[in-house]
Amino acid sequence: MGGKVSSRSKVRANSAILPMTLALLMLAPAVGQSPSTSTLINQESKRTEEPTTAAQRQAQIEYDERHGYLNTAVGQSPPPSALINQGSEKTVEAARAASPHTSESTYAYFQDEAEGFVAEATQRMWDPTVPLQKSPRTPWGDPDLTGYWLNVAYVPLERPDEYAGKPLYSPEEAVGAFIQWATRDASVDPATVHYDWTEFGMDNWQSPIRPNRRTSLIVAPPDGKVPALTPEGEVRRQEQARRYTLESRGLYERCIQGNQGPPRVPFLQNTGESQIIQTPDYVILITQANSDVRIFHLDGSPHAPKAVRSYLGDSRAHWENDTLVVETTGFHDRRKWNGTSSNLHLTERFTRATDDTLLYEATMLDPTTWEAPWSIEVPWPMMDPSGLFEFACHEQNYGIINVLRGARARAAEYQTAQQAE
């Protein structure tokens, strides 16, 4: 798993923010007033109050998606059968009342570690306005992308409405938002059903993640939103929704494919570990999730015949100055990714931004799914310590049985409730 970044690293730093204290960076409830740690925790405790502002509603949606309340497909909610129990405020409140712990006590358990992380992480940030450094070279002269990299982000995929027309935070705003996300991440509400990421060191705040001036991962279109689906794409999106049949569940959930795409949109938590290996003729990308392996051919060979399809697609690559450009087509028609079809043409760009940061960019083009192409940008910090672990998929293998039992029970409850109405 990802750990701390070496102090020798040179990430895009903005020296103006370094002397700032955390008290000044935590968004105060009133002008001139810095909140106490307990106040901030109360503000950021998960699902304790109904969201009242656009920002809070967006944060609530993202939290629900990350913890399985909503389907993560773009713009998609699951069928009501998937929400009948977990989405009930009455059920959640009853569980909260019975729990011996609170969000505050959860945070208190990890407080020293969390505050140490924030103090170190906020010394640097990703600033896309700063020019990239020249990439180091391999012995044969290609840009050197080798190493272990973590696909992780707090920045939302789509730009919240309150930041419309604002693609970048100020440095101070970026750090303030980062502190809010990290604090909320470390103070899980124990009354909600969730995977215990924190206990296993898999929360985003337990990774080398850093503040980011971007207000969304989407950089094109300019509004930071996923383009509208075509009618055909909308039909596929609905068909790909998770329901109570085995075939409807995600490929990652069924241990068929990892959760790292392609394209590599950051997953719920700190699970984006990967390794890049280079030779003069190939670049190999290995992800820890499901031990997926992608091979990028550099020999100028054509793509595989259209009849050859795979879940990871067929990739060909070339160098453009310091950037590896990868074109991937030939996706399997049973692949599930946000309503896309086998027509998806994916263009990825990998650039060594600094000694310990790899810039990942991806553009998705599928006229049968979206009305326009769209692009994302994600800075990948280097993993320290490095290394990948075996991914045996045990939890999904036995968990899928209980998942389906629960989904079918909720479907039956929903149908009963509908009949009663």
pLDDT at 82 over 60: no
421 domain-assigned: no
- What the block records as the tokens of 210 is 């850093």
Task: Give 349-397 pLDDT, tens digit per residue.
Answer: 999 999 999 999 999 999 999 999 999 999 999 998 899 998 888 778 7
Q: Go through the chain and tell me how many residues it has.
A: 421
pLDDT of residue 37: 33
- What's the rounded Cα separation, in Å, for the pair 260 and 267? 7
122 domain-assigned: yes
CA atoms 131, 137, 141, 144: torsion sign = negative
pLDDT at 298 over 50: yes
Q: What is the chain's Cα-based Rg?
A: 22
pLDDT of residue 379: 98
pLDDT of residue 317: 98
256 domain-assigned: yes
Average confidence (pLDDT) over 128-154: 97
Q: Which of 1-5, 164-168, 196-200 has the highest mean pLDDT?
A: 164-168
pLDDT at 71 over 70: no
| pLDDT above 70: percentage of residues in the chain | 79
89 domain-assigned: yes
Q: Is the peptide bond before 208 cis (omega within 30 degrees of 0)?
A: no
Q: Please answer whether residues 158 and 51 qualify as being in contact, where contact means their C-beta atoms are separated by less than 8 angstroms.
A: no
Three-state DSSP state, 309:
coil
169 domain-assigned: yes
371 domain-assigned: yes
Helix or strand holding residue 206 (H, E) = none
Average confidence (pLDDT) over 324-328: 98
CA-nearest of 194, 145, 203 to 1 is 203
415 domain-assigned: no
Query: For residue 63, what pLDDT band results from cuts at 50, 70 and 90?
Result: very low
Query: Cβ neighbours of residue 172 under 8 Å, at least 6 residues apart?
Result: 17, 20, 25
Calculate the average pLDDT of the chain: 81
User: Which whole-number Å values give the CA distances from 344 to 65, 242, 272, 354, in the listed order?
Assistant: 24, 21, 22, 31
- What's the rounded Cα separation, in Å, for the pair 80 and 337? 21
59 domain-assigned: yes
Q: What is the pTM of this model?
A: 0.80
Provide the domain limits for residue 119. Answer: 15-386+395-405
- What's the rounded Cα separation, in Å, for the pair 398 and 396? 6
- What's the rounded Cα separation, in Å, for the pair 212 and 171? 8
- What's the rounded Cα separation, in Å, for the pair 111 and 132? 35
* Strands across the sheet containing 374-381: 147-150, 273-278, 282-287, 293-297, 314-320, 323-329, 345-354, 357-365, 374-381, 218-220
Domain count for the chain, please give it. 1
Helix or strand holding residue 294 (H, E) = strand 293-297
pLDDT of residue 355: 95
Task: Give 398-411 pLDDT, tens digit per residue.
Answer: 888 888 888 788 77
pLDDT at 43 over 70: no
pLDDT of residue 79: 52
pLDDT at 6 over 80: no
pLDDT of residue 7: 32
Three-state DSSP state, 150:
strand
- What the block records as the tokens of 180 is 């809010």
- What's the rounded Cα separation, in Å, for the pair 44 and 39? 9
pLDDT of residue 68: 37
